[in-house]
Amino acid sequence: MASSNAIAQIGVTGLAVMGSNIARNLARHGYTVALHNRSVAKTDALLDAHGDDGEFVRTETIEEFVGALEKPRRVLIMVKAGDATDAVIEELAGAMEPGDIIIDGGNALYTDTIRREAAMAARGLNFVGAGISGGEEGALNGPAIMPGGPKESYESLGPLLESISAKVDGVPCCTHIGPDGSGHFVKMVHNGIEYADMQLIGEAYHLLRDALGLGAAQIAEVFTGWNSGELESYLVEITAQVLEQIDAETGKPLVDVIVDAAEQKGTGRWTVKSALDLGVPVTGIAEAVFARALSGSRAQRKAAQGLASGTLAEKPTDVAQFTEDIRQALYASKIVAYAQGFDQIAAGSAEYDWDLHPGDLATIWRGGCIIRARFLNRIKEAYEVDPGLPSLILAPYFREAIEHAVDSWRRVVATAVQLGIPVPAFASSLSYYDALRAERLPAALTQGQRDFFGAHTYERVDREGKFHTLWSGDRTEVSVE
């Protein structure tokens, strides 16, 4: 229902599908929602189609929109990340008063959010960068929400955002993440993990298709079976549905008529760039980003058709055993991807002094978001027992899970290599695991090489200090501190 003088508890500007669905979700939970969109036609389309979802206030200008809000005013921006968001923020800030709250619900780059939060604070405004995960369906029926920003603004915002979020065991999939850009940082890492998860599922699909010769429908059944066990998750569930889908036009499995070039809007790339700056080896996420880029380099791939494969091995004949091996390899690699993601969150928390709580993040990621999965309960438990875990892999549950899976993991990676099937995320995750547990890494040689050509010094295993060998002189060693 649209009314002209109602005082709204929140306003939503940017009424594409995500913004419209969030506005509907808010209205369905009893909030009066002021609506604004650059083109009023979108506002009217929403009201025509879903005006009965609850109380809406139709507005045409930013001034009218802001004027329809009770104080302290709360505005949710759902527009494209980047310049469009800056433009809307500037227009809103000019019409709002100290104490009001601007929430950016888009996939903004967290460093932009840090800048914006500081700029708005200087004008007395609260700026909240909130990651919202779950796609269009989640926005309407219950997303996971990751709001950062001033703690005091969460006192006003929290109950509202928690009411519209997904719930697991009655617990909202929403909590105050931390200061300034922390909400968008955590959403960014969520997306990085999402990329890794999707790549790992893709590699499992590739092996089931090309090593075992299974068709899409058969592979769908495999994923459906996996979804009733420890791999239970939204991404495994939808994978089965995508693989079951038949293309109406050709009668073939839809997946067989989709071009095999993956796109990406950028959040996965941001995760890897951030991890490089923070010095965190997010190898699974990085391989996923690069795999998407490689799949999209169509001209190069076309030119590379026919490159020698070398002598390939015989394909596995025990379908049940190799299918189980793939399931184990997928689970182990998934544990590595999440462990790396949580390492990046810990590094970001230290770098930006955010005091993030990994157990809280695992808790709100159990529902609503794209990476929601049964094993997030195990991650929540692991961090509740030991918030300072050096790595998720070292939590007893995950340590044992990998111990159980590692033989299968090695068989799958070795078989894939012998069959010429690319498994960059499976293989890099296994190598990450082996490097993490290795007693002596070849980095000692790297340090020797660096000292040889750059006098960059090295440490010794048998005493404290920094040392340099006089490589161009008598090759004696000198202490340099």
Shortest distance in whole angstroms from residue 166 CB to ligand 6PG: 12
Q: Which is nearer to ligand 6PG, 51 or 135 (CB)?
A: 135
CA 74 to chain centre: 27
Nearest alpha-carbon partner for 207 in 321, 111, 127: 321
Contact between 192 and ligand 6PG (CB under 6 A)? no
Distance CA(276)–CA(437), nearest Å, equals 22
Contact between 134 and ligand 6PG (CB under 6 A)? yes
Task: Identify which range of 52-60, 73-81, 130-138, 309-317 contacts ligand 6PG by CB under 6 A.
Answer: 130-138
Task: Identify which range of 132-140, 208-216, 337-345, 408-416 contacts ligand 6PG by CB under 6 A.
Answer: 132-140
Q: Is the peptide bond before 72 cis (omega within 30 degrees of 0)?
A: yes
Coil vs helix vs strand at 401: helix
Task: Identify which range of 133-141, 217-225, 226-234, 320-328 contacts ligand 6PG by CB under 6 A.
Answer: 133-141
Contact between 133 and ligand 6PG (CB under 6 A)? yes
Per-residue three-class SS string for 90-131:
HHHHHHCCCCCEEEECCCCCHHHHHHHHHHHHCCCCEEEEEE
Shortest distance in whole angstroms from residue 202 CB to ligand 6PG: 12
- Residues 61-120 within binding reach of ligand 6PG (CB under 6 A): 107
Contact between 325 and ligand 6PG (CB under 6 A)? no
Q: Which is nearer to ligand 6PG, 322 or 365 (CB)?
A: 365
Q: Are β-strands 56-58 and 74-77 bridged in parallel, bridged antiparallel, or unpaired? A: unpaired
Binding mask 354-383 for ligand 6PG (x = CB under 6 A): ---------------xx-------------
Output the CA–CA distances (angstroms, integers) from residue 230 to 69, 89, 95, 193, 477, in the order listed. Answer: 46, 43, 51, 17, 54
Q: Which is nearer to ligand 6PG, 96 or 145 (CB)?
A: 145
Q: Which is nearer to ligand 6PG, 66 or 289 (CB)?
A: 289
Shortest distance in whole angstroms from residue 375 CB to ligand 6PG: 18
Shortest distance in whole angstroms from residue 268 CB to ligand 6PG: 6
Q: Are β-strands 101-104 and 74-77 bridged in parallel, bridged antiparallel, or unpaired? A: parallel
Q: Is the dihedral of CA 393, 397, 399, 401 positive or negative?
A: negative
Among 194, 197, 343, 360, the residue binding ligand 6PG under the rule CB under 6 A is: 194
Distance CA(317)–CA(211), nearest Å, equals 9
Q: Which is nearer to ligand 6PG, 250 or 297 (CB)?
A: 297
Output the CA–CA distances (angstroms, integers) from residue 160 to 59, 155, 450, in the order listed. Answer: 21, 10, 55
Binding mask 3-22 for ligand 6PG (x = CB under 6 A): --------------------
Q: Is the dihedral of CA 90, 96, 100, 101 positive or negative?
A: negative
Q: Are 179 and 401 in contact (CB under 8 A)?
A: no
Catalytic residues: 187, 194
Q: Which is nearer to ligand 6PG, 179 or 268 (CB)?
A: 268
Shortest distance in whole angstroms from residue 296 CB to ligand 6PG: 12
Among 72, 135, 158, 359, the residue binding ligand 6PG under the rule CB under 6 A is: 135
CA 339 to chain centre: 13
Among 9, 191, 283, 344, the residue binding ligand 6PG under the rule CB under 6 A is: 191
Shortest distance in whole angstroms from residue 138 CB to ligand 6PG: 6
Q: Are 166 and 368 in contact (CB under 8 A)?
A: yes
Contact between 274 and ligand 6PG (CB under 6 A)? no
Q: Which is nearer to ligand 6PG, 18 or 57 (CB)?
A: 18
Q: Are 283 and 426 in contact (CB under 8 A)?
A: no
Shortest distance in whole angstroms from residue 198 CB to ligand 6PG: 8
Select the residue whose beta carbon is closest to ligand 6PG and give its number.
Answer: 133
Shortest distance in whole angstroms from residue 264 CB to ligand 6PG: 5
Instruction: Please return the burial class of 478, using the count of CB atoms within 10 Å of its CB with bins 0-12, 13-18 and 19+.
Output: exposed
Q: Which is nearer to ligand 6PG, 99 or 135 (CB)?
A: 135
Q: Are β-strands 74-77 and 171-172 bridged in parallel, bridged antiparallel, or unpaired? A: unpaired
CA dihedral 461, 462, 466, 467 (to 10 degrees): -100
Query: Which uninterrupted H or E stretch holds 10?
Result: strand 10-13
Position of tokens 């669905």? Answer: 21
Q: Are 280 and 343 in contact (CB under 8 A)?
A: yes
Binding mask 231-270 for ligand 6PG (x = CB under 6 A): ---------------------------------xx-xx--
Q: Which is nearer to ligand 6PG, 111 or 264 (CB)?
A: 264
Footprint of ligand 6PG (CB under 6 A)? 107, 133-135, 191, 194, 264-265, 267-268, 369-370
